[in-house]
């Protein structure tokens, strides 16, 4: 399909304006000559709607478009206490006059008297915040189940009182939110056309999978062949790719396309998240310092720093050939630079 045909499919979807698109896309001249590749950056840290943008705004334009259409009063969402997704959801809700409710899992201990990073912003935005501490010997799945049970009960109570609620899943990665990155894919194709380039690789951070799946669906519709490398911020379980195939196919159905996603549409790197989610790595810290010191751009230690470390690793090891056209999709998250010091790592 061409750009106009894909645009036509996207225009049928309910969407509300929250961010500033297209986000900037340009070449990093200094790092390109140092690395021997043509390195471009897509600045989704500039999506808006305030200083602290990020990839979730693309998804929220579709998700909250539906929430408003459904007449929602409260919007529930979930994540870690330093969740970028939660913070962007809260900001977006405020713009639309919706009441945000967060159920957040504390991977690191929070101090009510000294709030940091996104949790501080959530409070400034006046979100209703429920923090769930992880219990000893409890798996991530079990703690997530526990807060989902609490959130569902809360929603039921509100609904019984006549208040309409809208629930956004972790990272906004359902078939509605993911459309935001199909649209993002179209956006970057148009920007590449303007610059007269054709990407060989696009690297980006991967969490709940909506970014990865939306881009892969966009590529499938467009019929292009660059490699999309989704760099995990955590270890995904064995069923993850299968569920992303299903998500991608649901997106295609929603868009009215008869194309089919398969496992081969996804390429994930799960070797750069160590030691774990919200745990800094030396490679990630070095990558953050490099981009900051060579180009004046800030990444974060949880997602984009590790994704950029992966890109550097692929270039240095020759997995990405010299002279390639490589895009780094900056998904935001630099508020983590002001989070608890356990998350931050060694940055100077």
Among 100, 209, 280, 345, binds ligand PLP (CB under 6 A): 209
Among 167, 332, 339, 340, binds ligand PLP (CB under 6 A): 332
Under the binding rule (CB under 6 A), the answer on residue 248 touching ligand PLP is no
The residue with its CB nearest to ligand PLP is 333
21 SS3 class: coil
The residues in 94-113 that bind ligand PLP, with binding defined as CB under 6 A, are none
Long-range contacts (CB closer than 8 Å, 24 or more residues apart) made by 291-297: 291/31, 294/28, 294/30, 294/31, 294/34, 295/28, 295/30, 295/31, 295/41, 297/28, 297/41, 297/330
Among 110, 333, 343, 345, binds ligand PLP (CB under 6 A): 333
Under the binding rule (CB under 6 A), the answer on residue 42 touching ligand PLP is no
> Considering only CA atoms, which of 284, 292, 288, 302 is closest in space to residue 339?
302
| Smallest separation, CB 333 to ligand PLP (Å) | 3
The residues in 165-184 that bind ligand PLP, with binding defined as CB under 6 A, are 171, 173
Residue number with CB closer to ligand PLP (197 or 274): 274
Under the binding rule (CB under 6 A), the answer on residue 210 touching ligand PLP is yes
Residues annotated as catalytic (active site), given as ranges: 83
> Considering only CA atoms, which of 101, 81, 74, 100 is closest in space to residue 143?
81
| Cα 261–Cα 263–Cα 267 angle in degrees, nearest 5 | 110
Under the binding rule (CB under 6 A), the answer on residue 19 touching ligand PLP is no
Nearest-Å Rg of the Cα atoms of the chain is 19
Kindly provide the residue ranges of all beta strands, DSSP E only, lying in the chain, ordered along the sequence.
25-27, 38-43, 74-80, 99-106, 128-133, 165-167, 201-206, 227-232, 268-269, 325-330
How far is the C-alpha of 288 from the C-alpha of 310, rounded, in Å? 12
| Smallest separation, CB 162 to ligand PLP (Å) | 33
Under the binding rule (CB under 6 A), the answer on residue 82 touching ligand PLP is no
Among 89, 118, 167, 208, binds ligand PLP (CB under 6 A): 208
The residues in 250-309 that bind ligand PLP, with binding defined as CB under 6 A, are 300, 303-304
Under the binding rule (CB under 6 A), the answer on residue 331 touching ligand PLP is yes
How far is the C-alpha of 276 from the C-alpha of 236, rounded, in Å? 11
The rounded Cα 97 to chain-centroid distance in angstroms is: 23
Residue number with CB closer to ligand PLP (38 or 206): 206
| Smallest separation, CB 170 to ligand PLP (Å) | 8
Summarize as ranges the residues that interact with ligand PLP (CB under 6 A). 54-55, 84-85, 171, 173, 205-212, 300, 303-304, 331-333
């Amino acid at each position: 399909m061409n750009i106009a045909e894909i645009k036509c499919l996207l225009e049928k979807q309910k969407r509300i304006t929250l961010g500033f698109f297209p986000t900037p896309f340009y070449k990093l001249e200094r790092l390109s000559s140092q690395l021997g590749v043509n390195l471009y950056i897509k600045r989704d840290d500039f999506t808006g709607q305030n200083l602290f943008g990020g990839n979730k705004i693309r998804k929220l334009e579709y998700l909250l478009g539906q929430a408003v259409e459904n007449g929602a009063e409260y919007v529930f969402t979930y994540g870690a206490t330093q969740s970028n997704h939660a913070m962007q959801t809260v900001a977006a809700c405020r713009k639309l006059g919706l009441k945000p409710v967060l159920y957040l899992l504390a991977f690191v201990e929070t101090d009510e008297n000294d709030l940091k990073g996104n949790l501080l912003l959530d409070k400034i935005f006046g979100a209703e915040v429920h923090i769930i501490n992880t219990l000893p010997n409890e798996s991530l799945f079990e703690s997530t189940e526990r807060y989902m049970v609490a959130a569902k009960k809360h929603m039921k109570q509100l609904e019984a009182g006549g208040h309409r609620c809208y629930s956004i899943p972790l990272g906004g990665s359902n078939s509605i939110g993911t459309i935001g990155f199909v649209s993002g894919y179209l956006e970057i194709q148009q920007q590449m056309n303007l610059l007269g380039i054709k990407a060989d690789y696009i690297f980006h951070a991967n969490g709940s999978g909506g970014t990865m799946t939306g881009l892969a669906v966009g590529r499938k519709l467009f019929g292009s062949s660059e490699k999309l490398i989704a760099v995990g911020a955590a270890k995904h379980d064995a069923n993850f790719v299968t569920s992303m195939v299903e998500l991608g196919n649901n997106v295609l159905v929603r868009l009215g396309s008869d194309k089919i996603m398969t496992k081969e549409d996804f390429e994930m790197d799960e070797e750069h998240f160590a030691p774990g989610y919200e745990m800094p790595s030396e490679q990630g810290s070095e990558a953050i310092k490099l981009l900051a010191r060579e180009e004046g751009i800030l990444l974060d230690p949880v997602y984009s720093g590790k994704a950029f470390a992966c890109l550097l690793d692929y270039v240095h090891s020759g997995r990405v050939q010299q002279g390639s056209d490589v895009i780094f999709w900056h998904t935001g998250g630099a508020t983590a630079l002001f989070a608890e010091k356990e998350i931050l790592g060694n940055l100077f």
